[in-house]
Amino acid sequence: MKTFSDHAYDKLIDLFNNHDKEVGSELKKQDPIKYKDFKSTDCITYSLNVISHAFNMIGNTDAESRVWKLGGKGTDLAKYLVNSHNWKGIYINPDAKHPVDSNAEHTYTSHIAAKKCSYYQIPLEYKVENYSVTSKSHSAFQKLNKSTPETKLNDIDITSLEQVKFGFGISRGGMHTWVFSNGKVYEVHWDKIGAELYEATMLRTFPWISGAIVVPFDQAAKLSASSKLKCGT
């Protein structure tokens, strides 16, 4: 019998491969006449389509409806999945001390995740950090925490996370949302159409850098024990 994650994966791949009649919401807004025969989509709509479909397939129509009623706010959806369906929150950050874009938000959210087990009020139980570290010779290293030693690579936790079949991702406190599977981020660009509308990127190189992933309860068993947050026990 297929699980929620199986159904979610099937849907995310189906949409990724078949979107001839879809267009980015911003592009359609700019030229509604030109794209009148295309269905509007964007990053949160992709996630909502996938998650609501999976709930429908396992017979939970109440949750299917609730997902859409949350109004498309990624942080609210993530909190709902954690608080109402026992999903598990995972903080992600390729280099917690030396972010490759020199933005202090990434170091700050890492601190909050460790101290409060939270990412923009999304409850967390795990962290996966330092899987793509910034070298000391990189210009970004010199702009933030330059007196702090080069980060030690942690390949164990990210390798475990790459075994997770499905997750819902949040970047920059909800500015961007995406779906996740087996190490890849699947996203929609709201200003594109055709081959550029959907994109898949390895999480290790995902340009939005830090964020959170919430995963169904059964998928959390695939995570490394070392990634468990102390305040999450």
Q: What is the pLDDT of residues 172-204, one digit of tens each?
A: 999 999 999 999 999 999 999 999 999 999 999
Task: Tell me what the pLDDT averaged over the chain comes to.
Answer: 95
Q: What was the pLDDT predicted at 35? A: 97
Average pLDDT over residues 72-89: 96
Average pLDDT over residues 84-106: 96
- Of the candidates 27, 50, 212, the one whose C-alpha atom is nearest the C-alpha of residue 123 is 212
In eight-state DSSP terms, residue 117 is: S
- Tell me how many domains the chain contains: 1
Strands 176-181 and 184-188: antiparallel
Q: Which domain holds residue 57?
A: 4-232
- pTM here is 0.95
- Under the banding of pLDDT at 50, 70 and 90, the label for residue 125 is very high
Cα 162-135-182 angle, rounded to 5 deg: 10
By residue count, the chain amounts to: 233
Q: What was the pLDDT predicted at 144? A: 73
Question: Could you tell me which residues come within 8 angstroms of residue 212 by beta carbon, excluding any fewer than 6 positions away?
Answer: 78, 89, 90, 91, 92, 119, 120, 122, 124, 169, 170
Q: What is the pLDDT of residues 21-65, one digit of tens each?
A: 999 999 999 999 999 999 999 999 999 999 999 999 999 999 999
- Under the banding of pLDDT at 50, 70 and 90, the label for residue 217 is very high
Q: What was the pLDDT predicted at 231? A: 83
More confident residue, 125 or 146: 125
Q: What was the pLDDT predicted at 142? A: 74
- The number of beta carbons lying within 10 Å of the beta carbon of residue 62 is 9
Question: Could you tell me which residues come within 8 angstroms of residue 71 by beta carbon, excluding any fewer than 6 positions away?
Answer: none
3-state helix, strand, coil in the chain (%, to 5): 40, 20, 35
Distance (Å, rounded) from C-alpha 148 to C-alpha 126? 24
